[in-house]
Structures are given as C-alpha cells and as structure tokens.
Chains A and B, each alone.
Chain A
Amino acid sequence: MASKAQKKIGLAVLGWVVALLVFFPLIWMALAAFKTEIDAVSSPPKVIFDPTLENFNAVFERVNYGNAVFNSIVESVGATLICLIFAAPAAYAMAFFPGRKTKDLLMWMLSTKMMPAVGVLVPMYLIFRSTGMLDTRTGLVIVYTLMNLPIVVWMLYSFFREVPKEILEAARMDGARPRQQLLLLLLPLSLPGVMSTALLSIIICWNEAFWSINLTASNAAPLTQLIASFSSPEGLFWAKLSAASLLAIAPILVFGWVTQRQLVRGLTFGAVK
C-alpha cells in the first residue's frame, strides 16, 4: 500500500508531466519566435541562441496585425453578445418552463456540435458568396454566433437552474414579466455564471480557425487567419510562423490568465455538487 505522501508525490509528478506535455509546444513556439530561421530548423534544436526580433518586424511588415487583432475582438465579442441575447431567453424558458420535449431539444442542440464543420463548408461558402458576406465581419459574427449558441444555451440553462424556482414565482406574484424576471433577477443572480459563459464563448471564437480561414481573406480576417497565411506555398518559415502565432495568442493568453478564476468556476460548474 502506498502511503498518503507517496500518492501525493505521484500525483504531483503526473500533474507536472501532463502540464509540461501540454505546455511544451507553446514554449517551443515562443522560443522559435525569437530565433533566426536557420536556428529554428537546426537539428539538434538549439536551446541557447541569440534572441532576435527580426521575425516580429517581418510579421508587422507583411501583414496588418492591428487589423487582425481588431477583427478578432469585434468578431469574438460581437458573436458572444449576440449569443447571449438569444440564449438567455431560451435558457430561461427551458430552465423554468420545461416542456415534454425540452430535454430532447437540448440534446439536439448539443448534437449539432458533433457534426464536423467541413460537412457544411460548401453550402456555407456558396451562401456566403451569393449574399456577399465572404470576407465580412458580419458574416463571421453570424457563423460564430450559430457555432456557439448551443454551448451558451446549455451553460446558461444550467446556471439558471441553480436559481430557486420560488424566487421567480415570487417575482411573478409581484408582477414581473418574463423580460423583467430575466433582466432584474436571473441575470444579476447568476452573473458569475453568465460571465464565465461569455468568457468561454469569447475564447472559443478567438481560437476558431476553420471558418475564419475559409470564409475570410484580409478585410475581416482575424488572428487565426493571419497565422495561417504564414504557412504559405512559398514554404514554411518556422520562426516567422511562430512569431505570428505568439502575437495571435498573446491577447487571449493574457485575457485567459486574468479571468481564469471565473473560467474554472464556470467550467467545473455542477461537477462538484
């Protein structure tokens, strides 16, 4: 029998190994971003090297980083807000006035997330082309909204279910209409949950690459599309690609760091009850 202390050490080691495995590509990318192209591909890999900023200069010269950051923010925040506007009433109705089919409806919504996106790429592309939404922020916001709605509804649904039913009944007795129940009671009462839902949605949008690469080119291109543009037919430039990637993930990394407490609470919600 392993003692408690041994178990603890074992778990700690396991934790570190997993963390390193997850973190290694990020570290490697961050290092590569400061290497010259030759250092970046040298074998055996160089751990000690002369750091350089030339990759970043190259990235800034070649692409409009500011525009991509702006697009990423507008698209992820915009889609998230629209998601919340649609999802909150839906979750309210499902949490407090469930019908016979509510569970099925929720499962169906989730099932749409299981379909590979590429399955609808061609129709989506054609729709975007004929409606003139290719490479527009509006188009991408619409796609992101649809993409995240099921998750946002699900999360809000579970947060709303935490609010005692009697509170809404008391509000009904007091004359609160559904909109007032939602705005004056449910949202303030489940604010931490709503916040973490919004954070998660923003992060998912920010990291989304499939639709942004296929439906945008330059005007509406977010950071993910910007990274992809560096793996071009001209050949791979590891160092520049790494620099671009680092620039792309930096904002969301900082954002995630700042809001991690909120996020963890949201993601583990209901798991420890």
Chain B
Amino acid sequence: MATVALKSVKKSYGDINIIQGVDLDIQDREFVVFVGPSGCGKSTLLRMIAGLEEITAGELKIDGKVVNDVPPDARGLAMVFQSYALYPHMTVANNMGFALRLAGVPKAERDAKVKDAARILQLEPLLQRKPGQLSGGQRQRVAIGRAIVRQPKVFLFDEPLSNLDAALRVQMRIEIARLHSSLAATMIYVTHDQIEAMTMADRIVVLRSGKIEQVGTPLELYHYPANVFVAGFIGSPKMNLVPVKVQSAGADGITIVLPGGGTAMIPVQSSNAAAGSAATLGVRPENVAISADGPIAGEITVVEHLGGETLVYVNVGEGPFITVKAGGDSAANVGARVRLSLKTDEANVFDTNGAAMVPKVRKPLADLEKRGH
C-alpha cells in the first residue's frame, strides 16, 4: 500500500517559480510517468517527492502522511538516477547492500536480500565486480537492483534509460514494466521520451513550465488531448495541427474552413465558438487519407517508406505540411497532386486559447478497462 499525493506543491528559487502549484494523486501500485519537454520541471518534481529538493509550498503526502520535512531515506522511497550514480569504489554487491548496511541490517540478511535482487535482475555473476567494469545496461540494472534491495514503497526513476542505446532502451523498458508487475510497487518515472511514457505508464502526467497540462491514461491523452500542447507532444509521428477558421457552430458539431477553402464538420460541443474565429484542427496522421473526394487539396512533398507503413507529407498551401500515415504499399509519389480526407469523428478541435473542445461521443479506451475504471 503506497499512495503519493501532491497538493498545490510549489518550488521556487528566489523569484523564479520552477513548479507552480501541482495537484496529483498517485494510486497504490500505479505506474505514473511524468513527461514534458526539457526544463518543464518534471525532474524537479520527482526530486521534491524524493526529498532531494525542498518543497517551497504545498503538501506532499506518502501513504496519507505529510512528509515535506522527512529526510529522503525515511520516506520509504528508492530512486534510480539518470547517471546511475553507483558508488564507483564499491562492488556491485556492496552498492546494492549499502542502504541496508547503513540501516544496520546484519550481514547474512543483507547478503540474502542482495542475492534476491541480483537474481531478479540477472546480476548474480557480476556481484563482485566494480561499476567501472560493467556496461551501461549492466550499470543500469545495478542501479535498479540497489533500489529493489531496499523494498521501497515507491520507486522513483529519473530518466533512467536516456544514457542507453536505442536497442537496450527497448529491452530495459520491457524489463522495468515487468518489474512493475512482479514487484507490485508504486512507480513514478520521469522521461522526456513520449514513447517511453506511452508504453510504460498507467497514467501519464504531461508537464509544461512547472504546470500540469493533463493527466490521463496513454490512450486518453492520445485520443482526447486537453489542449494543443498535449496534442502535439503525445504521439509519433506528431498529430497534424492545422490552423482553421470556424464557419458555424451547431448542435451536431462545428463546421470549420480548411486550408484551401474546403469545409468539414467535426462532432464536438462548440457552443462557445464564434463564427469567423480562429481554431486549430488536430488530426492524427492515421486519420488522414489520400482520397479523390477529400476536402483538402495539396501536393506530396516527402514520402517516407517505413516498410509496414508509409508517411506522406503533403503541402496544402498554408500552415504546416499535413502528415498522412498510409499503408506500407502506398504508391504515393513526390510531386503528385492529391486530395486528403479526414476521419472527422476522430478529429479534435482546439479553440483560440488552445483548449480542446469536448467531443460529442467518447469512444471506450482499451487502457481504461485495464485499470478497472
């Protein structure tokens, strides 16, 4: 049982506010990922939970107890650092057992716990080595092992995979996800990589400039981003964000003027959108298709064949290129004039302030089921 609750938590250095009031409830055994561009305060927020940074204002509760002034080791947390932060002069076994040694745990018990953790992470053959003799991936596993040995209530990960190469990163991602389910622990994970966030999280917290932009399951964020920032940040290739004009707003949805003058009706609640005002259409590349009777005309500028799928970038005259995700056998040619159609019931519209208009119908999301909502 380990919950973490933040209540209007703030952090400032002098006049500079790094974290500007964060409210968040993290459930027991939940895997929460903080994601955002660099400088958004996600690492600072994690370090505040860890106790490495002081909390300027607000309340941090772990298991219902306020821990603002509790030292890091007494909070029952363990942290895995981006740089691994292993103790270079100690063997792997001593690195992993350091916390227990400090806590005065007898050597026999300590060794047993270190062995257990080493077995889980397949580190047994390396126990007598020094960190300098290990590869990046092995070091990362030792750092995780050091956290496991302490049997913490909450695991904190600060961009743990960003020093690894791409292949190893995918492997470690799976390993951490596996650990999460086998240890049944609460985990908070910081990353700037939205793919890591999407693949690992039960819930994603998107941060920008020290504020939470949106909290939700990966698919919630993917299909129903709260604003333009989240829409642009989550998903790869990125969501198409097309500047449009509102033509009319009715009971069935909003009619917008697309680049080139065509129109489309998007089924969202749009009572407060004035005709003629600017808006942003958000549509995922997989929801755009090349078809002869589409409302948008353009010219194919770049074609990327990825094998299983093809990304087609279409210049529609104004605004950014529109990305179309087509099948792997797409015959799209650079320079060809095409028309694009939209899946309007999968599209999002954002008002002049960038906030999403609520869709008329929300389809059921696979990952909400998983979490028992």
Contacts and interface: CB of A to CB of B under 8 A. Distances in A.
Contacts of B89: 188-189
B325 interface: no
A164 B131 CA distance: 14
A169 B85 contact: yes
B85 A174 contact: no
B85 A180 contact: no
15 contacts: A166-B81, A166-B85, A169-B79, A169-B81, A169-B85, A170-B81, A170-B85, A172-B51, A173-B78, A173-B99, A174-B99, A174-B146, A175-B73, A176-B73, A176-B98
A222 B83 CA distance: 50
Given A173-B50, A173-B72, A174-B150, 12 more contacts: A166-B83, A167-B86, A167-B88, A170-B146, A172-B51, A172-B72, A173-B79, A174-B73, A174-B98, A174-B99, A185-B87, A189-B89
B127 to A, nearest CB: 18
Most buried by A among B77, B89, B103: B89
Interface string A143-178: 000000000000000000000101101111111100
B275 interface: no
A172 B83 contact: no
A37 B150 CA distance: 75
Nearest to B99: A174
B102 interface: yes
A189 B88 contact: yes
Contacts of A171: 87, 98
A166 B102 CA distance: 18
Contacts of A176: 73, 98, 102
A185 B89 CA distance: 8
Contacts of A189: 87-89
B54 to A, nearest CB: 12
A101 to B, nearest CB: 15
Nearest to B82: A166
A12 B291 CA distance: 80
Interface in A187-238: 188-189
Contacts, number: 57
Interface of A: 164, 166-167, 169-176, 180, 185, 188-189
A167 B85 contact: yes
B52 interface: yes
Contact of B79 (A164, A167, A170, A175): A170
Nearest to A163: B88
A243 B228 CA distance: 86
B105 to A, nearest CB: 11
Nearest to A167: B85
A189 B86 CA distance: 12
B83 A175 contact: no
Which of B71, B74, B87 has the most CB atoms of chain A within a 10 A radius of its CB?
Answer: B87
Size class of the contact patch on chain B: 20 to 34
Contacts of A174: 73, 98-99, 102, 146, 150
A173 B73 CA distance: 5
Contacts of A185: 87
Given A173-B50, A173-B73, A173-B78, A167 B87 contact: yes
Given A172-B72, A175-B73, A164 B87 contact: no
A189 B74 CA distance: 26
A176 B83 CA distance: 19
A178 B78 CA distance: 18
Contacts of A170: 79, 81, 85-87, 146
Interface string B57-100: 00000000000000111100111011101111100000000110
B103 A169 contact: no
B102 A180 contact: yes
Nearest to B88: A189
B52 A172 contact: yes
Contacts of A164: 83, 85
Contacts of B52: 169, 172-173
Contacts of A173: 50-52, 72-73, 77-79, 99
B73 A172 contact: yes
Contacts of A167: 85-88
A136 B73 CA distance: 47
The 4 closest A-B pairs by CB, nearest first: A175-B73, A166-B85, A174-B99, A170-B85
B12 to A, nearest CB: 15
A89 B203 CA distance: 43
Contacts of A172: 51-52, 71-73
B85 A175 contact: no
Interface in B17-73: 50-52, 71-73
A188 B98 CA distance: 15
A111 to B, nearest CB: 28
| Most chain A CB within a 10 A radius of its CB, from B71, B74, B78, B81 | B81
